[in-house]
Amino acid sequence: MAELVSSPGKSGGRQSSRLPVRVDLTALVDLAFLLITFFMLTTTLAKPKALPLVMPVPGPNEPVAASSTMTICLGKNNHAVCYVGTIEKPITAPKLIGYGSDLGNSIQTARQIAASTHKNMFVIIKPSDHSIYKSLVATLDAMNVNGVSSYAIAQIAPKDIDLLKQKGIY
């Protein structure tokens, strides 16, 4: 049992003739533990974060124009190579980029090229064996930030691997 006992002492220069005060603190301790338990059970410490990923509906595949297709090949050391068009006939030369503003600027450039052809842009993301998961998530986040609604994650082709080797990021 917890209690608070005040010792008799001098008050104002004369001897106090009062009895000591005894306060039982058991109820206060119980209340404190009840409040701690309540707030622990009702507080959300961290909300889960998830990246929305939309899967395509089953059906026939529609061809996509090369002029509105951007390919991003993910390499090692947080670098990627991107180009618009096909690897055989690229509309923009393959460019070595980093994640962040480089990737965002490349996506905006590809959007302008696709807008000039009056078509929606489609992005193909090709992670290599030497890329890390963080790179893929950063690329998907860049798609979300830049408003790209049509993209796919595909296996990397041998020609793309050769391109990554030429740039030194495979």
Tokens of 48: 């889960």
Quote the Cα angle for 136-141-143, to 5°: 100
End-to-end CA distance of the chain: 70
Rounded distance between C-alpha atoms, residue 28 and residue 52, angstroms: 48
**Tally of domains within the chain:** 2
Rounded distance between C-alpha atoms, residue 74 and residue 152, angstroms: 13
Give pLDDT, residue 32: 93
Is residue 50 in a domain?
no
On whether both 119 and 72 belong to a single domain, the answer is: yes
Rounded distance between C-alpha atoms, residue 38 and residue 31, angstroms: 10
On whether both 77 and 161 belong to a single domain, the answer is: yes
Q: Are strands 69-74 and 22-24 parallel, antiparallel or unpaired?
A: unpaired
On whether both 91 and 22 belong to a single domain, the answer is: no
Is residue 163 in a domain?
yes
Is residue 51 in a domain?
no
Residue 15's domain comprises 3-7+10-42
On whether both 20 and 92 belong to a single domain, the answer is: no
Rg of the chain taking only CA atoms, in angstroms: 33
On whether both 77 and 110 belong to a single domain, the answer is: yes
CATH of the domain at 92: 3.30.420
Structure confidence by residue, pLDDT tens digits, 21-51: 788 888 888 999 999 999 988 887 777 777 6
Give pLDDT, residue 81: 93
Is residue 131 in a domain?
yes
For the chain, the average pLDDT equals 82
On whether both 34 and 84 belong to a single domain, the answer is: no
Is residue 48 in a domain?
no
Rounded distance between C-alpha atoms, residue 68 and residue 121, angstroms: 5
On whether both 88 and 156 belong to a single domain, the answer is: yes
On whether both 86 and 37 belong to a single domain, the answer is: no
Is residue 23 in a domain?
yes
Map 136-165 to HEC letters.
Answer: HHHHHHHHHHCCCCCEEECCCCHHHHHHHH
Is residue 129 in a domain?
yes
DSSP assignment string, 46-104: --------PPPPSSPPPP--GGGEEEEEE-STTEEEEEEB-SSSBSS--EEEETTHHHH
Is residue 11 very low, low, confident or very high in pLDDT (cuts 50, 70, 90)?
Answer: low
Which of 81 and 9 is assigned the larger pLDDT? Answer: 81
Give pLDDT, residue 36: 93
pTM: 0.65
